[in-house]
Amino acid sequence: MDRAGIETSILSWDTGGVPESVVKEVVRQKPDLTCSFHPLPKQHDGHYFWDTLQIHHWSILVDPAFYDLELMSSRYSIISCVDRSDCDFLRSYHFQTTFFFPHAVERELIINADDLSKRPYDVILLGTCYDPDNLRAFWMKNFSSEISAALDEAVEMVLSDNKTTFFRALLQSLALNGIDSKEVPFDQLAYYVDSYSRGIERLQLIRSIKDAQVHVFGGKCWREEQPIEDWSYYLSKQKNVTLHPSVPFSEALEMMKRSKICLNSMPFFKNGTHERVFASLACGALPLTGDNVYMREIFTEDEDLLFYQFTALDQVNDKIQSYLANDAKRKMLIECGQDKVRKYHTWDCRTLHDFPL
């Protein structure tokens, strides 16, 4: 924003709601706009601070908008989404101050992809374990067989194509099973579909890799539904998998710089982006990412990116082996991908709105 000629001021605090000292500083500076990554909580009086100050606030969402619908209650709220389906979802509620603003990376992150053969990690996955087995066992125990069947069908819809979102899948599945979505705890069930889809896809993706050494960085999720198992519960017996603790994002970037291929599972985004794709390319690692509509528009398989489909995971192992065995071919894809990231997917491009819509 500074480079684009926008005067900015960064106000930060450790955790929790917006401190009164920060609100006073906003009042003192009188900005045209405030913004934040992720939504900010309401103040003690039950209002967003920007409503009280009558100033527009831009919430830069980087996760599914489904979990932040309360932001629509504010007349001063502007919401950007990293998935075009989320923008459409918000507009279906007659909320119009939303726009597509995908993930991006700093232009300084892009490194020269020189000798890629010396990288110590063949394949990495940076991600949380969502413990799908225990989550499904929980809903099977606590909901009727009809609702449980609808959840299973919704998950199948999410994982069977590159365009059906988890909340749309649940709506369709409930309707097909004769269940009124207004008569069930829809938000809770949608969360189950989302979490289980995430958990089972990345687990089966890792299990599909038989030959390459896979390094998994990540802890277990937090949720109210207990128990919750971690990656060791699922992967400790898979000899080609090495487990590591979760790492902060800055360290994750260093892991990408030491890797040849970076896995990216994102069944929660069907028409948008994930930063792991852009970041891994910038760091010289070839992404193998879940298929989706927007990614298909901006990248070309086997030219600057690798895709996989959950319904064809049996093809993943051979695909990975092919690119690990051919450094020159892998380097060509990475350099082509980096060129697209440099031209269209840095934060400078986002600020200037210079990216494929």
Express each pLDDT in 90-136 by its tens digit.
999 999 999 999 999 999 999 988 777 789 999 999 999 999 999 99
Residue 138 neighbours by CB distance under 10 Å: 17
Give the chain's residues under pLDDT 50: none
User: CA 273 from chain center: how many Å?
Assistant: 7
So what's the pLDDT on residue 118? 85
Distance of CA 102 to the CA centre of its chain: 11
Rounded CA separation 39/49 (Å): 12
Identify which of 296, 272, 309 has the alpha carbon closest to the alpha carbon of residue 161.
309
Q: Which domains, from first to last, does the chain contain?
A: 20-100 (no CATH), 107-351 (3.40.50.2000)
Query: Does pTM top 0.85 for this prediction?
Result: yes
CA 154, 319, 212: angle at the middle one, nearest 5? 100
Instruction: Give me the pLDDT at residue 116, please.
Output: 74
Q: Please report the pLDDT score of residue 319 as a whole number.
A: 98
CA neighbor of 79 nearest in space, from 48, 52, 110, 106: 48
Q: List, for residues 228-237, the tens digit of each pLDDT value.
A: 999 999 999 9
| Residue 357: predicted pLDDT | 73
Closest CA to 284 of 251, 345, 332: 332
Asked if residue 122 lies in contact with residue 324, where contact means CB atoms within 8 angstroms, the answer is yes
Q: Classify residue 241 by burial, with Cβ atoms within 10 Å: 0-12, 13-18, 19+.
A: buried
